[in-house]
Structure 1
Amino acid sequence: MLLETAEAVALLALALFAAKIGEEILMRLGLPSFLGAIIAGMLLGRAGLNIITEEAYESTYIFYLIGLSFFLFLAGVEELAPHGKLVPRKRELFASIVMLITTTIAIALPAYFYMHMPLHAALAFGIAITIASLGPAIKLALYIKPMPIALLRLVVVLELLGIIAFNSLTEGFSINQLITTIIVVATIYFLGRRLFTKALIELERRTRAREAPFALLVSIIMGASFAAEYLGFNAAVTALVLGLFASDYLLKRPFFHERLQALTYGFLEPLFFVGIGITMVTPDIQSLLVAVII
């Protein structure tokens, strides 16, 4: 057990090192750097040399996972907060619904007729492919100048609508689950807007333990994100919203902001993107044909 853990940690270090090399290469080529981390993961994982096996990845999975929450939290602090609220406009809500329906149907039809999936499974598959991952979507949007805030709002709404539709198809529509989700959203908004920064300021004044406010900030990012996921909401959106609420606090305290940047951009974020590459597999002919049809 100890040897397996040591091997997994060593491979985690290799993944981090490879991710930063990949980022550096693509930055020098003038391309989005996170694509370099994904390519590095593909080379190390099942789609490439298989140096990092599925078992080694799963044993340190949490390190690859939490990078998404920290990256989106900082995106809320640094990029979205200066542009105003993340509340969608009517046209963005309408566009999200149209995009979800049309793209889901375009993907579900080949899955139903060509892959012979049951109809509900084909629709669920179409929804899962349609909803963009917030991490790569926002990371890519940061390279567009000026940053398309309306597009980011559309992606957030699309992901939330897709999650509700996907859960309704796979688990059945539940009024109780919908009510729980609404309560979670309201709680995140109230606590985040009213109490989040106040708690950090009060802790900063009263505690003597080293880096106590920073430790609380990190624990809130992790705890609130995945508590929301457990209750049926979305960890990524939660982290993004918390970043919006914490922006004034962090931007006025550059020493905390810089520590969080170092933790995120130097450790957690590259592991998240390299993890995407590690989990990819080499596609077979049938999968490529389906992709071409779609």
Structure 2
Amino acid sequence: LAAYLLFHGYLQAIVAGSIIGMSSAGPLARLLMDTGLTRSDEGSAIFTEVVLIEISAVILFAFLYDLAGKPITPLSIAFIAAQLTLTVAATVLFGRYLLPKPKILEKVESHIQAREGVFAVMVAAILILGFAGQIVGFNSAIVALFLGIFLRRFFESRPVVSEKLQAFTYGFFEPLFFAGLGLYFVRITLQLVPATLTVFAVGLGSSVLLGFTLSKLYGVEPLRNAFGVSVKGGVDSALLVTALTASIGVKLINHFEYSAVALGIALIALSAPLLFRLRTPIISVKRPSGEKRILRKQLENLSAKEVAQTLPTVSARIDEPLREAARRCWDQDARGAVVVDQDNRPVATLILRDTISMSETELDTLKVYEAPLAQAVIVPEHEPALRLAALFRESGVPIIAVVDSEGKLVGTVLEREILRRILKTIEE
């Protein structure tokens, strides 16, 4: 109703209303992480609500966007609905079944002898599927969100790739995106102020009301849930730009309306996290004991190269027979080996348990690169030993490759060796 009073058109009102009333999962995820609620039941419930709200709003926007400027008939409505359904189905199929099941990314890791191979494939998949979604009016950000959800477990076991993707996103794409949003603003005048405040009040008020209602269904503290589902981010701004720049024969929104809605959303994006923090419990942080501080200090002063030089290197050439590599792991009591290319650069990790179920014929005929391989976890030679312990916990791999300034292998570190080093330090 408020959007209709502002924009004086039912189609424009519904489009603007779907954008104003939506939530954003990305900023909420960071907010939950900052407040220590990421792994809590309440945090999971709030995040689930926001994802459902965001996806529903984007689907509604895409439907209205495709419908605008066309004769509204049962056939046109059915055709647009079928398009959107196929887009969602294709994204789900690719993200949930085609990538993880046949282990496409694992094969990329083993066959493309470059550490950036998986990262490049992920960026390409996001861009290509996002472009495909844009063709049918589906927002590319939600396509990327689907892929992120389906590949969450893959990234959990590969913290290095996850860190690269996040750095690329927040360090490159996000600044460019938000810089582009300002290009469409009109000059700020007194007429813009009441429209902005109206959008702010209506957007925050409707989200808070929805959050209160959903809190009973999800069993979350009402105010915390209300402010959690009010969080705004980049997807709603992306939809605004799409509505403004649409070339479909119908003006969905003009520059003044765009500016009012964008500023109103910005105010909500600033205020909702602050209000959420007021309802967030204080997460107590335990201070490490004196012994732990001493242990941490000693491990920080110890480099990865110093640890690796005291241990035998467990590695396998990518083109050597699989049986020889597996036997080397057995002989050195290692649960895995670092796979290196012809230039002695780590490209993957051979995990011994993956070879146990293989037949004798497979062990005799396959090369290392033909076996199931995991991502190589690589650290520079001057990396603190304390970081190695964290990498073992985050990645789940049994062995870490230590490389020099040229990226060549200088040694390996097994998980048990770090544990032995910790125990030795404790005894001392």
TM-score, length-normalised on structure 2?
0.38
1:162 corresponds to which residue? 61
The answer on whether the counterparts of 2:25 and 2:51 sit within 8 Å (CA) in structure 1 is yes
CA shift in 2, pair 1:129/1:242, >3 Å: same
Q: Which residue of 1 aligns with 2:82?
A: 179
User: Are 1:225 and 1:234, in contact at CA under 8 Å, matched by a contact in 2?
Assistant: yes
- Report what 1:3 is aligned to: none
Count of residues in Structure 1 that have an aligned counterpart in Structure 2: 181
- For structure 2, the residue ranges without an aligned partner over 5 or more in a row are 38-42, 200-428
Give the one of 181, 186, 189 matched to 1:276: 181
Match of 1:238 in 2: 143
Whether 1:108 and 2:11 are equivalent positions in the alignment is no
Q: Secondary structure at the match of 1:170?
A: coil
Q: Deviations over 1:156-191 (max 9, x none)?
A: 212212331343243344232321221121111112
SS at structure 2 position matched to 1:281: coil
Higher strand share: 2
What amino acid is aligned across from residue 119 of structure 2 in structure 1? Answer: F
Structure 1 residue runs of 4 or more that deviate by more than 6 Å after TM superposition: 133-136
1:196 to 99, 121, 138: 99
Deviation of the 1:110 alpha carbon: 4.1
Instruction: Pick the structure with more helix per residue.
Output: 1
The answer as to whether partners of 1:228 and 1:235 remain within 8 angstroms in 2 is: yes
Percentage of pairs with the same residue: 28
Q: Paired residue for 2:25, among 133, 138, 143?
A: 138
Shift of 1:240: 0.2
Pairing partner for 2:50 from 136, 142, 151: 151
Whichever residue aligns with residue 84 of structure 2, its letter is T
CA gap 1:140/1:211 in 2 versus in 1, 3 angstroms = closer
RMSD across aligned C-alpha pairs, in angstroms? Answer: 2.8
**Partner of residue 58, structure 1:** none
Residue 113 (structure 2) pairs with residue 208 (structure 1): yes
**Is residue 125 of structure 2 the alignment partner of residue 217 of structure 1?**
no
Shift of 1:289: 4.5
TM-score with structure 1 setting the length: 0.54
Partners of 2:50 and 2:10 in 1: CA distance: 24
Deviation of 1:229 (Å): 1.2
Change (3 A) 1:134 1:233: farther
Contact 1:132 1:155 survives alignment (8 Å): no
Greater mean deviation of Cα atoms: 268-277 or 246-255: 268-277
Partner residue in 1 for 2:397: none
Deviation digits for residues 7-52 of structure 1 (CA, Å, limit 9, x no counterpart) = xxxxxxxxxxxxxxxxxxxxxxxxxxxxxxxxxxxxxxxxxxxxxx
The correspondence of residues 1-294 of structure 1 with structure 2, limited to 5 A, is: 105-112=1-8, 122-132=9-19, 137-142=24-29, 143=31, 145=35, 146=37, 147=43, 148-149=46-47, 150-173=49-72, 174=76, 175-197=78-100, 198-291=103-196
Distance 1:190 1:184 in 2: 10
* CA displacement 1:199-224 (0-9 Å, x = unmatched): 11121122224522221111111111
Gaps of 5+ in 1: 1-104, 113-121
Change (3 A) 1:140 1:248: closer
Q: Report the Cα distance in structure 1 between the residues aligned to 2:172 and 2:59, rounded to whole angstroms.
A: 28
What amino acid sits opposite 1:163 in the alignment?
Answer: A
> What amino acid maps onto 1:111 in structure 2?
F
Structure showing greater relative contact order (alpha-carbon pairs closer than 8 Å, 6 or more residues apart): 1
- Contact 1:131/1:162 (CA < 8 Å) preserved in 2? yes
Contact 1:177–1:232 (8 Å) recurs in 2: no
